[in-house]
Amino acid sequence: MIRKKPLTLFFATLAAGLAPCLGFAFDVAATRAAAEAQANKDASQLFALYKDLHEHPELGYQEKRTAALLAKEMRALGFTVTEGVGKTGIVALYKNGAGPVVLVRTDIDALPIQEETGLPYASHVKQITRTGRESFVFHGCGHDTHMATWVGTARALLAMKDRWHGTLMFIGQPAEEGGNGAKAMIDDGLFTRFPRPDFAFGLHNSADPPGVYYKPGVASSSVDDFQIVFHGRSSHGSRPNMGIDPVLMAARFAVDVQAVISREKDPAAFGVIAVGSIDSGPLGNGTPDKATVRGATRAQDTEVREKLLAGIQRTAKAEADMAGAPAPPDFDLRRGYTMIVNDAALTERTAAVFRTAFGADTHELLVPETGSEDFSEYGVAGVPSFYFRIGAYDPQRVAEAKQKGEVLPVHHSSKYLPAAQEVIRTGTQAMTLAVVNVMQTK
Ligand SMILES: [Zn+2]
Ligand SMILES: [Zn+2]
């Protein structure tokens, strides 16, 4: 269920009519038509690239084949390409006279999931995950559609070089799925070894009907992972009085910590504390000496984020105190991604062009995504950034599912299948317009 502001035809028409007053010094309709023509011309080539990437997915920091394929595409277009930035990332630069430097990011990694889409070009790839296990690999987040769109955008921009000036900085970012790939690229000199961008754009396919979706301001949630080890004293199952039970501490913690959500944070503010794992070993008939709890928090506001993390630590300590634990719990926090904050001026500027180009298919969202994304890092590094989504559900599939009472698979499901051609076609037009808008020559 998406919550969005309705955009009536009246406003769409008004926006189109007001286009010159809104400061568009370029012809939005003609630029869109040129991008669409190029995307149509490249359609079979881009779809073939998508299928190749889909069939050969790679996990974060293992995207060697993927990066090489993208580097080859960009070199063929005349970009200067540097590989191995942030381990497996690539930076492709194209200078077209003086002007702003504009970053266009695609993520390039896949997930440790066994694909169940039944596609003829389904993945059978296996790789070793970060935790050392062998797993099937699948583009279950649709980053393959982003890569094809990224190449499509580069092609469209090069076909209309007279409409913009400046430097294109196309980056293929590794390890978006929990691997801090954006930070790895920044730490490896993304903004010091290469020109510092004036603007950054990123997109994601979305489990929504076709269209362009964006959220001004905070657009995604933060995510932080935590692990707590409760210490007890082991004992035989028949003599619990001889032990101190860490399983009870963990179980109480899992329940009590939800009061931080219901009673400590602002009820109107978004926040999640997920406890996904309680592990105290294989023995059922006994008291173990420790229990490990793993979980993650999400927030859309820095104050809430810190409140949740403090509440977790306080609750864990209180459970251990109450049980008379021999030692306080060990708390291990791994800070993950912060919220994406879409730059206000860049959002207004880009959304105005989207509304003119796509009319009622442009959707301003009222609430941020509950998911998280490390596109936020480019904004944190001080680059005005804008992140938007492209609806990737085929309306016919949505209608059929509704009729049958079925729920369509979403991102990270083994059956998630975005309408790739739609993402590539609309994504290429939207991204091309966003870029030309900030690099326009006329
Ligand atoms: Zn994902
Ligand atoms: Zn993703």
**Ligand nearest to the Cα of 112, by number:** 1
**CATH value at residue 157:** 3.40.630.10
Between CA 222 and CA 224 the distance in angstroms is 7
Does the model's pTM come out above 0.75?
yes
State whether 363 and 315 are in the same domain.
Answer: no
For residue range 89-115, list pLDDT tens digits in order: 999 999 999 999 999 999 999 999 999
Query: pLDDT above 90 covers what percent of the chain?
Result: 90
Between CA 341 and CA 177 the distance in angstroms is 19
Beta strands in 336-394 (DSSP E): 341-342, 362-365, 385-391
348 CA → ligand 2 middle, Å = 24
Say if CB 424 and CB 148 are below 8 A apart.
yes
State whether 313 and 355 are in the same domain.
Answer: no
- Which domain range does residue 124 map to? 4-220+338-439
412 CA → ligand 1 middle, Å = 6
State whether 320 and 413 are in the same domain.
Answer: no
State whether 97 and 244 are in the same domain.
Answer: no
Hey, what amino acid is at 264? E
Q: How confident is the model at residue 23 (pLDDT cuts 50, 70, 90)?
A: low
426 CA → ligand 2 middle, Å = 18
Query: Considering its fold, how many domains does the chain have in total?
Result: 2
State whether 294 and 348 are in the same domain.
Answer: no
Q: How far is CA 355 from CA 180, 219, 262, 352, 407, in A?
A: 33, 18, 38, 5, 30
DSSP letter (8 states) at residue 269: S
105 CA → ligand 2 middle, Å = 12
State whether 242 and 193 are in the same domain.
Answer: no
Residue with tokens 């008291």: 287
For residue range 282-312, list pLDDT tens digits in order: 999 999 999 999 999 999 999 999 999 999 9
Between CA 416 and CA 138 the distance in angstroms is 10
94 CA → ligand 1 middle, Å = 29
Domain boundary among 304, 335, 366: 335
- Total residues found in the chain within this entry: 442
State whether 83 and 134 are in the same domain.
Answer: yes
Nearest to 205 by CA among 367, 389, 368: 389
State whether 233 and 216 are in the same domain.
Answer: no
State whether 194 and 267 are in the same domain.
Answer: no
Domain boundary among 293, 315, 335: 335
Between CA 144 and CA 427 the distance in angstroms is 13
- Which runs of consecutive H residues, i.e. helices, occur in 138-223? 143-158, 181-187
Q: Does the structure show a pLDDT above 50 at 9? A: no
State whether 378 and 236 are in the same domain.
Answer: no
State whether 59 and 201 are in the same domain.
Answer: yes
Say if CB 422 and CB 392 are below 8 A apart.
yes
For residue range 179-231, list pLDDT tens digits in order: 999 999 999 999 999 999 999 999 999 999 999 999 999 999 999 999 999 99
What is the arithmetic mean of pLDDT over 11-25?
50
Mean pLDDT of the chain: 94
**Ligand nearest to the Cα of 143, by number:** 2
**Ligand nearest to the Cα of 202, by number:** 2
For residue range 329-388, list pLDDT tens digits in order: 999 999 999 999 999 999 999 999 999 999 999 999 999 999 999 999 999 999 999 999
Domain boundary among 295, 310, 335: 335
